[in-house]
Chain A
């Protein structure tokens, strides 16, 4: 016989086994009801969890100033949540032009009072956070979340060229002092903004450049300072001293200030703005220098906002669905062992690996459908309810939401297939279900949203790295950024592994369980 006919016959046989297993599955009404029940539980618990979350805030210590709803979180040019709170001292520039300045000092103060009090200058100590920023900035608008490009010195990351919140390029390293000042320059040529730095005012290096879309003819150009909260959450302030300032229409250092007086603006420091600041922003002009003091950040917003994500209320319901699918996935094989039906199955399909594969595809497929469909319904529902209760929901693009939906399905599917393997090995429903719950559900109960986030310890973190609970990383939607010092910990709602890496950990457990089941099946008499 031609060897070419072999694979097709084998794939036909697999399809036959698959159809047989699907027929078996769908003809046990209890299992089909279980699937619907699991999906409903996801939606129900998502609703209940979302409904229990309310947000309000107070603009003064007086309770009468408290309102429902969340504080304002700006959206950046790509719709992402951003912090846009800073002090700007600027002029208007029409057409191409440039600004140059020397920064001779960058110092700061850090709130040292108790975490539960509103920060004020009264109780601060001297210090500069690493992402304190001061430098030159071009923006078409002082509306929060506007497009911008800036070249800056920082507290601990040297000179940077940054634009539109998420883009960052490094320039000269080192911190600022009187003996080690930095010259900065920002030029506009059409839509292209270029940042330069220099340590002597003579030799210049390009730090980076950016093409800003839809840049109008007239833009703000000037000096800025801002200083983000520390990774412990304390508000800070930074003061920079600028001199040797040149600003003008030509992209040439000799150009002199021609475009009117300086405008000082505190951006994003109102009582409705979310960013925690030390309220002493402002500027002071002397004969040859300008001191700018700012508090806040121009960067992506992370969980410091105190917002929720679309998947936040999904977790508990998904765990319930997981338990239901663990029971069904186990019974899909153990009920055959219990009745001796497994012998009919193997008489029908002597290739036991093929039987196991067909069962895995069937239970994995239905479990995926349950997880994915349920979360596709539950996510918008939870989002809607949470928004209605005044919560801020981090914006998530459709691709990211699709990842959570696929992740919910994959999480349930991989677990169901793994317990199919456990059931095959153990042959008894009770033992296999117990083992399935202990291995695949119990670790999850120590995570955020169920027992946590108070259980933020390293134990929980490790559980989410090495146990099947890692699969829940697929639900992570909180933004993180290397441009923001923040504790990206489980306590703050961050999974320790990236989404797909977490799923891979779970998939490894599934693969091991299924492979072991395959070996056992081959060796054992039916």
Chain B
């Protein structure tokens, strides 16, 4: 099993009466950007939290390079993650945010400066994070994810709040990571963000995998990616305006 892989199998989790994950299985191979797509409430964020050992499951396993997250020493050297770019102490500077993470992974301070450069945060790194725009927060979050130079990256909605320039930068950046042989998992609820960046897409709905294929395979014989998405997720969405969808939970 490559260091640079995510292997999720048979995840099952309930929130009260609701089945959030219903036997979810997929694999993120090394050297690819895998898009993780589904309507709101499909279980994308929950799955990512499970992979990172933050949420428990009743059944199933999530392995990073063959090992569960909790078994990793200095886990951020194995997996970089960005779940919520706004998860910052507003009065702490971006640089100090990176510094405490570096300390926790026994990484040298020089890494903090390297990743600050890498994401182009520059002088803003010394300002309080509370004053950052969402785009800057995303960059800070990516810097944090890259601190440990990890073979695996997990990002929840990395394009959120980014300006067009930022989105172009981000696409190039993610493709570059995959080209280096890393396994990259990015979630999105907007499928059209993905064709330019993802090689592979896992579509989920209601905690189940609806499709697991390359972009090419998905679009073969379909008029557009949107059509594919809508067809796949019909019946798996909480509420869709105009459609005779199912009542809300």
Chain A interface residues (CB < 8 Å from chain B): 9, 12-13, 16-17, 19-24, 27-30, 335-336, 339-341, 343-344, 346-351, 525-526
Contacts and interface: CB of A to CB of B under 8 A. Distances in A.
A526 B86 contact: no
Contacts of A348: 75-76, 101, 104-105
B55 interface: yes
Nearest to B85: A340
Given A24-B92, A526-B54, A16 B105 contact: yes
Nearest to A30: B91
Given A27-B92, A525-B49, A347 B55 contact: no
A30 B88 CA distance: 15
Interface residues of B, number: 34
Contacts of B99: 23, 27
Q: Give chain A's interface secondary structure class.
A: helix
Q: Which has the most chain B C-beta neighbours within 10 Å: A19, A23, A349, A526?
A: A23
Contact of A12 (B76, B106, B144): B106
Contacts of A347: 52-54, 75-76, 79, 81, 83
Contacts of B52: 343, 347
B84 interface: yes
Interface string B75-117: 1100101011011111111001001110111100000000000
B86 A17 contact: no
Contacts of A21: 100
A344 B144 contact: yes
B144 to A, nearest CB: 7
Q: Which has the most chain A C-beta neighbours within 10 Å: B52, B96, B100, B101?
A: B100
A21 B101 CA distance: 9
Interface string B40-67: 0000000001001111100000000000
A348 B93 CA distance: 18
A346 B144 CA distance: 14
Contacts of B91: 28-30
Contacts of B81: 347
Given A347-B75, A347-B76, A350-B72, A341 B89 contact: yes
Interface of B: 49, 52-56, 69-70, 72-76, 79, 81, 83-84, 86-93, 96, 99-101, 103-106, 144
Contacts of A9: 73
Nearest to B144: A344
A387 to B, nearest CB: 43
B108 to A, nearest CB: 12
A21 to B, nearest CB: 8
Contacts of B72: 350
Given A16-B106, A28-B91, A347-B79, 6 more contacts: A16-B74, A27-B100, A339-B87, A341-B88, A346-B53, A347-B75
B160 to A, nearest CB: 14
Given A9-B73, A20-B103, A27-B100, A341 B55 contact: no
Contacts of A16: 74, 103-106
Contact of A343 (B69, B70, B84): B84
Contacts of B89: 24, 28, 335-336, 339, 341
A20 B81 CA distance: 18
Q: Which has the most chain A C-beta neighbours within 10 Å: B89, B90, B105?
A: B89
Given A341-B87, A343-B54, A344-B87, A350 B100 contact: no
Contacts of B69: 350
Contact of A20 (B55, B75, B104, B144): B104
A23 B106 contact: no
B104 A340 contact: no
Contact of A344 (B55, B90, B101, B103): B101
Contact of B56 (A27, A335, A341, A525): A525
Contacts of A29: 91
A197 B246 CA distance: 103
